[in-house]
Structure 1
Amino acid sequence: MYMQEIIIFLQQHTVLSIVWILLLIATLYTTISSCLFKSSEILRDQAILLINKKKAIVIDIRSQDDYCSGHITNSINVSIKDIKNNNICKLKRFKKYPLIVVHDNNSLAHSIKQHLYKLKFEEVYVLHGGIVDWKSDNFPLLLTNKILK
């Protein structure tokens, strides 16, 4: 009985039904992906602890101009294109170290994290909030041998 009413409703309100289904899918996708991504994101304090205790390597995937305008101390600038094309000569010696991926856009950083896992890097994290939050919290950045605050 209820099934017939649902079918009639769907037939009479096709556009509304499609919009509702799309919103349901978008909500489920967002919820599931945020749960998956949160587990691999680390806060700035955790990143500093990893860098100091486990010698983690910070991988800055922003453009070279953005990197030169201010980057985290001892970070390595690697282009997104190089990582996606498996051209990672700069990184091969760091396979056993934890990596912290940094960018302005965390969803892009998460996709690069997945590429690095496929390339057999063992421990990869994304810095929560990226370089934007790092700057806004007044953590130091380097600019061609000068420290910016």
Structure 2
Amino acid sequence: MCIQEITIFLQRHIILSIIWVLLLIAVLYTTINSWLFGSSEILRDTAIYLINKKNAIVIDIRSQDDYHAGHITNSINVSIEEIKNNNICQLKRFKQHPLIIVHDNNVLAHSIKRYLYKLKFEEIYVLHGGIVGWKSDNFPLLLKNKALK
């Protein structure tokens, strides 16, 4: 194919061309983003290993109501707004520990992960499937100091 044919195609199919360029940008963004921030989602078994063997800290970024309705044992509830406003005094002492971010929406969890990277936290993971996946695999949750199954 010569450049002249490509130019004619682009002119005749402008919408397809725009869509193709947008998809290319999205793929490049996703690839570069995952490369820069490493593989970040971990399965529940890996999370349990990190918690038990490497003293990982579970950061639950759901609302307080959702947190109190059932949360992972020893997790810390921190609001998204606190992290975005750099109001993370309770987390600063855990900079040397692996962090596991938990939420119902992993897109939000990944955005919070990026904020924490900017705040110099180094080892940060997102729990694959979030709290919903944790519940669906019948891992225990705490509800007002009582264990749920």
**Shared fold, TM over 0.5:** yes
Match of 1:140 in 2: 140
Shift, 1:134, TM fit: 0.4
Unaligned runs of 5+ in 2: none
* Residue correspondences, number: 149
Q: Which amino acid aligns with 2:71?
A: H
Are residues 34 and 132 of structure 1, via their aligned partners in 2, closer, same or farther at CA, if it must alter by over 3 Å? farther
Are residues 66 and 125 of structure 1, via their aligned partners in 2, closer, same or farther at CA, if it must alter by over 3 Å? same
Match of 2:48 in 1: 48
Unaligned runs of 5+ in 1: none
Shift, 1:94, TM fit: 1.3
**SS at 1:139 equivalent:** coil
Match of 1:118 in 2: 118
**SS at 2:66 equivalent:** helix
Are residues 50 and 81 of structure 1, via their aligned partners in 2, closer, same or farther at CA, if it must alter by over 3 Å? same
Q: Distance in 1 between matches of 2:37 and 2:45?
A: 18
Identical positions, percent: 80
Q: Distance in 2 between matches of 1:124 and 1:22?
A: 30
Match of 2:62 in 1: 62
**SS at 1:90 equivalent:** helix
Are residues 90 and 96 of structure 1, via their aligned partners in 2, closer, same or farther at CA, if it must alter by over 3 Å? same
CA RMSD, aligned part only? 1.9
Q: Which amino acid aligns with 1:123?
A: E
Are residues 96 and 37 of structure 1, via their aligned partners in 2, closer, same or farther at CA, if it must alter by over 3 Å? closer
Shift, 1:98, TM fit: 1.2
Shift, 1:82, TM fit: 0.3
Mean Cα displacement is larger for which, 66-75 or 111-120?
A: 111-120
Determine if the alignment matches structure 1 residue 92 to structure 2 residue 99. no
Match of 1:104 in 2: 104
Shift, 1:54, TM fit: 1.4
Are residues 107 and 36 of structure 1, via their aligned partners in 2, closer, same or farther at CA, if it must alter by over 3 Å? farther
Match of 2:22 in 1: 22
Match of 1:73 in 2: 73
Shift, 1:136, TM fit: 0.6
Are residues 139 and 36 of structure 1, via their aligned partners in 2, closer, same or farther at CA, if it must alter by over 3 Å? farther
**SS at 1:87 equivalent:** coil
